[in-house]
Amino acid sequence: MTSTRPLLLKNARLVDPASGREEHGGVLVSDGLIADVGHHVIAATDAEVIDCAGQVLAPGLIDMRAFIGEPGAAHRETLKSAGEAAAAGGVTTIVSMPDTNPVLDDPAIIDFVMRRARDTSIVNVRPAAALTKGLKGEEMAEIGLLREAGAVAFTDGARSVTNAQVMRRALTYARDFDALIVHHVEDPDLVAQGVMNEGEFAARLGLPGIPREAETVMLERDIRLVRLTGGRYHAAMISCADSVEIVKAAKERGLPITCGVSINNLALNENDIGEYRTFFKLSPPLRHEDDRLAMIEAIADGIVDVIVSDHNPQDVETKRLPFAEAADGAVGLETLLSAGLRLVHAGSISLPKLLRALSTRPAEILGLPAGRLTRGAPADLIVFDPEAPYVLDKRSLRSQSKNTPFEDARLEGQVTKTIVAGRMVFDRSLS
Protein backbone atom coordinates (compact mmCIF):
# COMPACT_ATOMS: atom_id res chain seq x y z
CA MET A 1 0.00 0.00 0.00
CA THR A 2 1.73 3.19 -1.17
CA SER A 3 -1.28 5.49 -0.89
CA THR A 4 -0.86 8.65 1.19
CA ARG A 5 -4.59 8.75 1.94
CA PRO A 6 -5.60 8.55 5.60
CA LEU A 7 -6.17 5.02 6.85
CA LEU A 8 -9.09 4.00 9.04
CA LEU A 9 -8.85 0.76 11.00
CA LYS A 10 -12.36 0.14 12.32
CA ASN A 11 -14.25 -2.53 14.24
CA ALA A 12 -11.21 -3.45 16.36
CA ARG A 13 -10.59 -4.51 19.94
CA LEU A 14 -8.32 -1.65 20.95
CA VAL A 15 -5.69 -2.55 23.54
CA ASP A 16 -3.51 0.32 24.79
CA PRO A 17 -0.84 -1.20 27.05
CA ALA A 18 0.38 2.25 28.11
CA SER A 19 -2.91 3.00 29.90
CA GLY A 20 -4.27 -0.56 30.25
CA ARG A 21 -7.40 0.59 28.41
CA GLU A 22 -9.40 -1.86 26.31
CA GLU A 23 -12.39 -0.86 24.21
CA HIS A 24 -14.08 -1.52 20.90
CA GLY A 25 -13.45 1.12 18.29
CA GLY A 26 -11.08 2.33 15.62
CA VAL A 27 -7.88 4.17 14.81
CA LEU A 28 -7.48 6.89 12.21
CA VAL A 29 -4.00 7.20 10.72
CA SER A 30 -2.77 10.27 8.85
CA ASP A 31 0.75 11.30 7.79
CA GLY A 32 2.32 8.38 9.62
CA LEU A 33 0.77 9.28 12.97
CA ILE A 34 -2.30 8.30 14.94
CA ALA A 35 -4.79 11.10 14.23
CA ASP A 36 -7.61 9.75 16.38
CA VAL A 37 -8.40 6.68 18.44
CA GLY A 38 -11.38 5.37 20.38
CA HIS A 39 -14.88 3.96 20.26
CA HIS A 40 -16.11 7.05 18.41
CA VAL A 41 -13.77 6.46 15.44
CA ILE A 42 -16.05 4.59 13.05
CA ALA A 43 -15.94 6.62 9.84
CA ALA A 44 -13.77 9.09 7.98
CA THR A 45 -14.11 10.77 4.62
CA ASP A 46 -11.42 10.06 2.00
CA ALA A 47 -9.83 7.40 4.20
CA GLU A 48 -8.89 3.92 3.11
CA VAL A 49 -10.93 1.63 5.37
CA ILE A 50 -9.83 -1.68 6.87
CA ASP A 51 -12.33 -3.72 8.85
CA CYS A 52 -10.46 -5.47 11.68
CA ALA A 53 -13.40 -7.86 12.26
CA GLY A 54 -13.09 -7.60 16.05
CA GLN A 55 -9.41 -8.54 16.17
CA VAL A 56 -6.96 -6.89 18.56
CA LEU A 57 -5.40 -3.62 17.42
CA ALA A 58 -2.36 -2.64 19.48
CA PRO A 59 0.94 -0.78 19.21
CA GLY A 60 3.62 -2.65 17.28
CA LEU A 61 6.12 -4.66 19.30
CA ILE A 62 9.58 -3.27 20.10
CA ASP A 63 12.22 -5.99 20.34
CA MET A 64 15.20 -4.79 22.37
CA ARG A 65 17.48 -7.69 21.45
CA ALA A 66 17.94 -9.07 17.94
CA PHE A 67 21.16 -10.24 16.34
CA ILE A 68 21.34 -9.48 12.61
CA GLY A 69 24.22 -10.76 10.52
CA GLU A 70 24.60 -7.66 8.35
CA PRO A 71 27.30 -6.46 7.97
CA GLY A 72 29.62 -9.45 7.79
CA ALA A 73 27.34 -12.48 8.16
CA ALA A 74 24.53 -11.90 5.70
CA HIS A 75 24.22 -15.68 5.18
CA ARG A 76 22.67 -15.84 8.69
CA GLU A 77 20.35 -12.84 8.41
CA THR A 78 20.15 -9.56 6.53
CA LEU A 79 18.43 -6.36 7.54
CA LYS A 80 15.89 -7.10 4.80
CA SER A 81 15.09 -10.66 5.92
CA ALA A 82 15.01 -9.63 9.59
CA GLY A 83 12.55 -6.87 8.71
CA GLU A 84 10.28 -9.28 6.87
CA ALA A 85 10.39 -11.74 9.78
CA ALA A 86 9.70 -8.95 12.26
CA ALA A 87 6.73 -7.60 10.30
CA ALA A 88 5.18 -11.07 10.10
CA GLY A 89 5.55 -11.37 13.88
CA GLY A 90 4.15 -7.92 14.70
CA VAL A 91 7.53 -6.36 15.57
CA THR A 92 7.69 -2.82 14.20
CA THR A 93 11.00 -1.79 15.81
CA ILE A 94 14.13 -3.91 16.19
CA VAL A 95 17.13 -2.98 18.32
CA SER A 96 20.02 -4.62 16.49
CA MET A 97 23.07 -5.89 18.37
CA PRO A 98 26.64 -4.72 17.63
CA ASP A 99 28.11 -8.23 17.20
CA THR A 100 28.72 -7.75 13.48
CA ASN A 101 31.80 -7.71 11.29
CA PRO A 102 32.97 -4.99 11.57
CA VAL A 103 31.73 -4.39 15.10
CA LEU A 104 29.38 -1.42 15.59
CA ASP A 105 31.96 0.59 17.53
CA ASP A 106 32.46 3.41 15.03
CA PRO A 107 30.00 6.21 14.13
CA ALA A 108 30.53 5.51 10.41
CA ILE A 109 29.41 1.90 10.83
CA ILE A 110 26.35 2.98 12.83
CA ASP A 111 25.53 5.37 9.99
CA PHE A 112 25.97 2.55 7.45
CA VAL A 113 23.57 0.26 9.32
CA MET A 114 20.96 2.99 9.66
CA ARG A 115 21.16 3.89 5.96
CA ARG A 116 21.12 0.25 4.92
CA ALA A 117 18.11 -0.41 7.15
CA ARG A 118 16.23 2.56 5.71
CA ASP A 119 16.88 1.24 2.21
CA THR A 120 16.09 -2.44 2.78
CA SER A 121 14.09 -3.05 5.97
CA ILE A 122 10.31 -2.63 6.13
CA VAL A 123 10.41 -2.06 9.91
CA ASN A 124 12.33 0.40 12.10
CA VAL A 125 15.87 -0.72 12.96
CA ARG A 126 17.60 1.04 15.84
CA PRO A 127 21.23 -0.02 16.27
CA ALA A 128 22.79 -0.58 19.67
CA ALA A 129 26.48 0.31 19.61
CA ALA A 130 29.34 -1.57 21.21
CA LEU A 131 30.03 -0.74 24.84
CA THR A 132 33.74 -1.52 24.47
CA LYS A 133 35.99 -1.28 21.41
CA GLY A 134 35.93 -4.47 19.38
CA LEU A 135 33.68 -6.02 22.06
CA LYS A 136 36.89 -6.92 23.86
CA GLY A 137 35.82 -5.59 27.26
CA GLU A 138 39.07 -3.65 27.66
CA GLU A 139 38.52 -0.09 26.46
CA MET A 140 35.31 1.90 26.49
CA ALA A 141 33.83 2.82 23.10
CA GLU A 142 33.17 6.47 22.12
CA ILE A 143 29.74 6.63 23.74
CA GLY A 144 29.11 10.32 23.01
CA LEU A 145 29.95 10.13 19.30
CA LEU A 146 28.09 6.84 18.83
CA ARG A 147 25.00 8.27 20.48
CA GLU A 148 25.15 11.30 18.18
CA ALA A 149 25.36 8.91 15.22
CA GLY A 150 22.08 7.29 16.28
CA ALA A 151 22.87 4.45 18.70
CA VAL A 152 19.97 3.91 21.13
CA ALA A 153 21.93 1.85 23.69
CA PHE A 154 25.38 0.45 24.42
CA THR A 155 26.11 -3.21 24.87
CA ASP A 156 28.66 -5.87 24.08
CA GLY A 157 25.83 -8.12 22.90
CA ALA A 158 26.32 -11.71 24.02
CA ARG A 159 29.59 -10.88 25.78
CA SER A 160 29.96 -9.73 29.37
CA VAL A 161 32.30 -6.98 30.52
CA THR A 162 34.22 -8.80 33.24
CA ASN A 163 36.49 -5.88 34.15
CA ALA A 164 34.64 -3.95 36.88
CA GLN A 165 36.74 -0.83 36.35
CA VAL A 166 35.80 -0.71 32.65
CA MET A 167 32.13 -1.13 33.54
CA ARG A 168 32.39 1.59 36.20
CA ARG A 169 33.90 4.02 33.71
CA ALA A 170 31.27 3.19 31.10
CA LEU A 171 28.40 3.75 33.54
CA THR A 172 29.94 7.04 34.72
CA TYR A 173 30.54 8.30 31.19
CA ALA A 174 27.12 7.15 29.96
CA ARG A 175 25.42 8.94 32.86
CA ASP A 176 26.59 12.31 31.51
CA PHE A 177 24.93 11.55 28.16
CA ASP A 178 21.86 9.91 29.72
CA ALA A 179 22.87 6.88 27.66
CA LEU A 180 21.59 3.38 28.40
CA ILE A 181 24.01 0.57 29.23
CA VAL A 182 22.64 -2.89 28.38
CA HIS A 183 24.61 -5.81 29.79
CA HIS A 184 24.61 -9.58 29.27
CA VAL A 185 24.77 -10.74 32.88
CA GLU A 186 26.80 -13.91 32.73
CA ASP A 187 30.20 -14.45 34.33
CA PRO A 188 32.19 -16.39 31.68
CA ASP A 189 34.50 -17.89 34.29
CA LEU A 190 31.56 -19.39 36.16
CA VAL A 191 29.99 -20.53 32.89
CA ALA A 192 33.30 -22.19 31.99
CA GLN A 193 32.51 -25.26 29.85
CA GLY A 194 28.84 -25.31 30.89
CA VAL A 195 26.25 -25.74 28.14
CA MET A 196 22.90 -25.97 29.97
CA ASN A 197 21.34 -25.25 33.37
CA GLU A 198 23.23 -26.90 36.19
CA GLY A 199 21.11 -29.52 37.96
CA GLU A 200 19.75 -33.02 37.92
CA PHE A 201 18.70 -32.95 34.26
CA ALA A 202 22.16 -31.85 33.09
CA ALA A 203 23.70 -34.62 35.18
CA ARG A 204 21.38 -37.19 33.59
CA LEU A 205 22.36 -36.00 30.11
CA GLY A 206 26.03 -36.03 31.05
CA LEU A 207 26.41 -32.34 30.11
CA PRO A 208 28.39 -29.73 32.08
CA GLY A 209 26.08 -27.25 33.79
CA ILE A 210 25.90 -23.47 34.17
CA PRO A 211 25.07 -22.44 37.74
CA ARG A 212 22.54 -19.68 38.40
CA GLU A 213 25.37 -17.89 40.20
CA ALA A 214 27.00 -17.19 36.82
CA GLU A 215 24.12 -14.77 36.34
CA THR A 216 23.52 -13.52 39.88
CA VAL A 217 27.17 -12.76 40.70
CA MET A 218 27.47 -10.53 37.62
CA LEU A 219 24.09 -8.91 38.28
CA GLU A 220 25.00 -8.14 41.92
CA ARG A 221 28.29 -6.58 40.81
CA ASP A 222 26.62 -4.42 38.19
CA ILE A 223 23.99 -3.16 40.62
CA ARG A 224 26.68 -2.10 43.07
CA LEU A 225 28.40 -0.21 40.25
CA VAL A 226 25.10 1.47 39.35
CA ARG A 227 24.76 2.54 42.98
CA LEU A 228 28.31 3.91 42.80
CA THR A 229 27.90 5.80 39.50
CA GLY A 230 24.22 6.58 39.01
CA GLY A 231 24.34 5.38 35.38
CA ARG A 232 21.24 4.03 33.62
CA TYR A 233 21.49 0.25 33.45
CA HIS A 234 19.48 -2.51 31.81
CA ALA A 235 20.18 -6.20 32.47
CA ALA A 236 19.54 -7.64 29.01
CA MET A 237 18.06 -10.96 30.15
CA ILE A 238 17.65 -12.55 33.54
CA SER A 239 16.49 -16.13 33.85
CA CYS A 240 16.16 -17.29 37.46
CA ALA A 241 14.24 -16.59 40.67
CA ASP A 242 17.35 -15.35 42.52
CA SER A 243 17.89 -12.65 39.88
CA VAL A 244 14.30 -11.47 40.28
CA GLU A 245 14.89 -10.91 44.00
CA ILE A 246 18.11 -8.99 43.27
CA VAL A 247 16.38 -6.70 40.75
CA LYS A 248 13.38 -6.18 43.02
CA ALA A 249 15.63 -5.08 45.90
CA ALA A 250 17.57 -2.70 43.61
CA LYS A 251 14.37 -1.11 42.31
CA GLU A 252 13.07 -0.68 45.85
CA ARG A 253 16.25 1.28 46.60
CA GLY A 254 15.38 3.60 43.71
CA LEU A 255 18.31 2.69 41.49
CA PRO A 256 17.99 3.45 37.72
CA ILE A 257 17.75 -0.23 36.81
CA THR A 258 15.55 -2.12 34.36
CA CYS A 259 15.76 -5.66 33.04
CA GLY A 260 14.47 -8.02 30.39
CA VAL A 261 13.76 -11.70 29.91
CA SER A 262 13.94 -13.83 26.78
CA ILE A 263 10.64 -15.24 25.56
CA ASN A 264 12.43 -18.60 25.55
CA ASN A 265 12.87 -18.48 29.33
CA LEU A 266 9.16 -17.71 29.73
CA ALA A 267 7.79 -20.34 27.35
CA LEU A 268 10.32 -23.19 27.76
CA ASN A 269 12.34 -24.94 30.44
CA GLU A 270 15.39 -27.21 30.58
CA ASN A 271 13.31 -30.35 29.98
CA ASP A 272 12.57 -29.14 26.45
CA ILE A 273 16.18 -29.94 25.55
CA GLY A 274 15.07 -33.58 25.56
CA GLU A 275 17.52 -35.75 23.67
CA TYR A 276 20.21 -33.10 23.08
CA ARG A 277 18.12 -30.82 20.81
CA THR A 278 20.55 -28.05 19.88
CA PHE A 279 17.86 -25.51 18.90
CA PHE A 280 17.26 -25.30 22.68
CA LYS A 281 20.89 -24.41 23.44
CA LEU A 282 20.64 -20.78 24.51
CA SER A 283 22.39 -18.12 26.56
CA PRO A 284 21.19 -17.70 29.27
CA PRO A 285 20.27 -21.39 29.32
CA LEU A 286 16.75 -22.71 29.75
CA ARG A 287 16.25 -23.06 33.50
CA HIS A 288 14.24 -25.22 35.91
CA GLU A 289 10.45 -24.97 35.77
CA ASP A 290 10.45 -23.13 39.12
CA ASP A 291 12.63 -20.42 37.58
CA ARG A 292 10.35 -20.17 34.54
CA LEU A 293 7.32 -19.66 36.78
CA ALA A 294 9.22 -17.06 38.82
CA MET A 295 10.03 -15.12 35.63
CA ILE A 296 6.36 -15.13 34.55
CA GLU A 297 5.32 -13.83 37.96
CA ALA A 298 8.00 -11.12 37.73
CA ILE A 299 6.58 -9.94 34.41
CA ALA A 300 3.07 -9.86 35.89
CA ASP A 301 4.35 -7.89 38.90
CA GLY A 302 6.35 -5.45 36.75
CA ILE A 303 9.70 -6.39 38.31
CA VAL A 304 10.92 -7.56 34.91
CA ASP A 305 10.28 -4.74 32.45
CA VAL A 306 10.55 -6.17 28.96
CA ILE A 307 10.31 -9.40 26.99
CA VAL A 308 12.76 -9.85 24.11
CA SER A 309 12.99 -12.38 21.30
CA ASP A 310 16.78 -12.76 21.68
CA HIS A 311 16.63 -13.44 17.93
CA ASN A 312 19.94 -15.12 17.09
CA PRO A 313 20.01 -16.81 13.68
CA GLN A 314 22.45 -19.68 13.29
CA ASP A 315 23.04 -21.71 10.16
CA VAL A 316 22.97 -25.50 9.87
CA GLU A 317 26.74 -25.82 10.23
CA THR A 318 26.73 -24.28 13.70
CA LYS A 319 23.66 -26.12 15.00
CA ARG A 320 23.95 -29.61 13.51
CA LEU A 321 26.68 -30.56 15.97
CA PRO A 322 26.90 -32.39 19.31
CA PHE A 323 25.04 -30.34 21.92
CA ALA A 324 28.20 -29.20 23.73
CA GLU A 325 29.74 -27.93 20.47
CA ALA A 326 26.68 -26.28 18.92
CA ALA A 327 26.36 -22.48 18.90
CA ASP A 328 23.96 -20.75 21.27
CA GLY A 329 20.89 -19.06 19.88
CA ALA A 330 17.46 -19.34 18.29
CA VAL A 331 15.42 -17.24 15.89
CA GLY A 332 12.46 -15.56 17.53
CA LEU A 333 11.12 -12.48 15.73
CA GLU A 334 8.20 -14.29 14.11
CA THR A 335 7.19 -16.30 17.19
CA LEU A 336 7.66 -13.64 19.89
CA LEU A 337 3.99 -12.64 20.13
CA SER A 338 2.40 -16.07 19.73
CA ALA A 339 4.80 -17.61 22.27
CA GLY A 340 3.96 -14.77 24.65
CA LEU A 341 0.24 -15.36 24.16
CA ARG A 342 0.75 -18.82 25.69
CA LEU A 343 1.02 -16.98 29.01
CA VAL A 344 -2.23 -15.10 28.36
CA HIS A 345 -4.12 -18.25 27.37
CA ALA A 346 -2.81 -19.99 30.50
CA GLY A 347 -4.18 -17.17 32.66
CA SER A 348 -0.70 -16.23 33.92
CA ILE A 349 -0.79 -12.63 32.67
CA SER A 350 -3.30 -10.25 31.10
CA LEU A 351 -3.04 -9.23 27.45
CA PRO A 352 -2.38 -5.54 28.26
CA LYS A 353 0.47 -6.52 30.62
CA LEU A 354 2.00 -8.79 27.99
CA LEU A 355 1.83 -6.04 25.39
CA ARG A 356 3.22 -3.53 27.89
CA ALA A 357 6.35 -5.68 28.26
CA LEU A 358 6.57 -6.06 24.48
CA SER A 359 5.97 -2.45 23.42
CA THR A 360 5.33 0.27 26.01
CA ARG A 361 8.18 -0.44 28.43
CA PRO A 362 10.81 -0.92 25.70
CA ALA A 363 9.71 2.41 24.21
CA GLU A 364 9.96 4.14 27.59
CA ILE A 365 13.39 2.67 28.36
CA LEU A 366 14.77 3.58 24.92
CA GLY A 367 13.14 7.01 24.86
CA LEU A 368 11.00 6.27 21.79
CA PRO A 369 7.55 7.85 21.22
CA ALA A 370 5.98 4.51 20.24
CA GLY A 371 4.27 1.81 22.30
CA ARG A 372 0.94 3.55 22.89
CA LEU A 373 -2.42 4.09 21.24
CA THR A 374 -2.75 7.85 21.59
CA ARG A 375 -3.13 10.81 19.27
CA GLY A 376 0.19 11.98 17.87
CA ALA A 377 1.98 8.69 18.51
CA PRO A 378 3.70 6.98 15.55
CA ALA A 379 1.30 4.81 13.56
CA ASP A 380 3.32 1.63 14.23
CA LEU A 381 0.42 -0.76 14.70
CA ILE A 382 -0.48 -4.43 14.58
CA VAL A 383 -3.75 -6.27 14.12
CA PHE A 384 -3.82 -9.84 15.39
CA ASP A 385 -6.20 -12.66 16.21
CA PRO A 386 -5.12 -13.91 19.66
CA GLU A 387 -7.06 -17.16 19.26
CA ALA A 388 -5.94 -18.20 15.75
CA PRO A 389 -4.34 -21.67 16.06
CA TYR A 390 -1.46 -22.88 13.93
CA VAL A 391 1.37 -25.39 13.94
CA LEU A 392 4.74 -23.79 13.24
CA ASP A 393 6.48 -25.07 10.14
CA LYS A 394 10.04 -23.75 10.22
CA ARG A 395 10.13 -23.77 6.41
CA SER A 396 7.54 -20.97 6.46
CA LEU A 397 9.75 -18.68 8.55
CA ARG A 398 10.92 -15.55 6.76
CA SER A 399 14.26 -15.52 8.59
CA GLN A 400 17.16 -16.84 6.53
CA SER A 401 18.06 -19.21 9.37
CA LYS A 402 15.48 -21.70 10.63
CA ASN A 403 16.80 -22.52 14.11
CA THR A 404 13.52 -22.12 16.01
CA PRO A 405 12.83 -23.93 19.29
CA PHE A 406 9.12 -23.83 18.39
CA GLU A 407 9.36 -26.14 15.37
CA ASP A 408 6.12 -28.15 15.06
CA ALA A 409 4.76 -26.42 18.20
CA ARG A 410 1.04 -25.74 18.50
CA LEU A 411 0.65 -21.99 18.93
CA GLU A 412 -2.25 -19.57 19.17
CA GLY A 413 -2.26 -16.00 17.95
CA GLN A 414 -1.36 -14.75 14.49
CA VAL A 415 -0.62 -11.26 13.25
CA THR A 416 -2.86 -10.39 10.32
CA LYS A 417 -1.63 -6.86 9.57
CA THR A 418 1.44 -4.81 10.48
CA ILE A 419 1.66 -1.07 9.86
CA VAL A 420 4.84 1.01 10.18
CA ALA A 421 4.61 4.81 10.04
CA GLY A 422 1.11 4.49 8.61
CA ARG A 423 2.16 2.15 5.80
CA MET A 424 1.02 -1.46 5.54
CA VAL A 425 4.16 -3.63 5.55
CA PHE A 426 2.54 -7.02 6.19
CA ASP A 427 -0.88 -8.39 5.31
CA ARG A 428 -1.36 -12.09 6.00
CA SER A 429 -4.25 -12.29 3.53
CA LEU A 430 -1.78 -11.41 0.76
CA SER A 431 1.19 -13.48 1.94
Mind listing the pLDDT tens digit for each residue in 336-359?
Answer: 999 999 999 999 999 999 999 999
State the CB neighbour count (10 A cutoff) for residue 424. 19
pLDDT computed for residue 431 by the predictor: 73
Task: Quote the pLDDT of residue 2.
Answer: 44
Nearest-CA neighbor of 78 among 401, 427, 410?
401
Q: Give the fold, CATH level 3, of 7-57+379-430.
A: Urease, subunit C; domain 1 (2.30.40)
Query: Would you say residue 4 has pLDDT above 90?
Result: no
Predicted confidence at residue 83, as pLDDT, reads: 98
pLDDT of 3 over the 70 cut:
no
Q: What's the pLDDT score for residue 45?
A: 76
CATH class of the domain whose range is 59-366: alpha beta
Mean pLDDT on 136-143: 97
Digit-coded pLDDT (tens) for 182-237: 999 999 999 999 999 999 999 999 999 999 999 999 999 999 999 999 999 999 99
Predicted pLDDT at 369: 96
pLDDT the model gives residue 1? 40
pLDDT tens-digit readout, 368-394: 999 999 999 999 999 999 999 999 999
Hey, which residues are catalytic here? 310
Tell me the average pLDDT of the chain: 96
Q: How far apart are CA 118 and CA 206, in angstroms?
A: 47
Calculate mean pLDDT across residues 170-179: 95
Q: In what order do the strands lie in the sheet containing 124-127?
A: 61-66, 91-96, 124-127
pLDDT, one tens digit per residue, over 34-61 is 999 999 987 777 899 999 999 999 999 9
Helices 213-229 & 241-252 angle (0-180, nearest 10): 10
In the chain, % of residues over pLDDT 70: 99
Mean per-residue pLDDT for 51-76?
96
pLDDT-based confidence at residue 124 (cuts at 50, 70, 90): very high
The yes-or-no answer to whether 7-57+379-430 and 59-366 have a common fold is no
Check residue 79 and give its pLDDT: 98
pLDDT in tens, 357-366: 999 999 999 9
Is the confidence at residue 322, as pLDDT, over 90? Answer: yes
> Structural domain boundaries of the chain?
7-57+379-430, 59-366
Q: Is 218 exposed, middle or buried (0-12, 13-18, 19+ CB in 10 A)?
A: buried
Segment 95-110 shows an average pLDDT of 97
Taking the complete model, does pTM exceed 0.85, yes or no?
yes
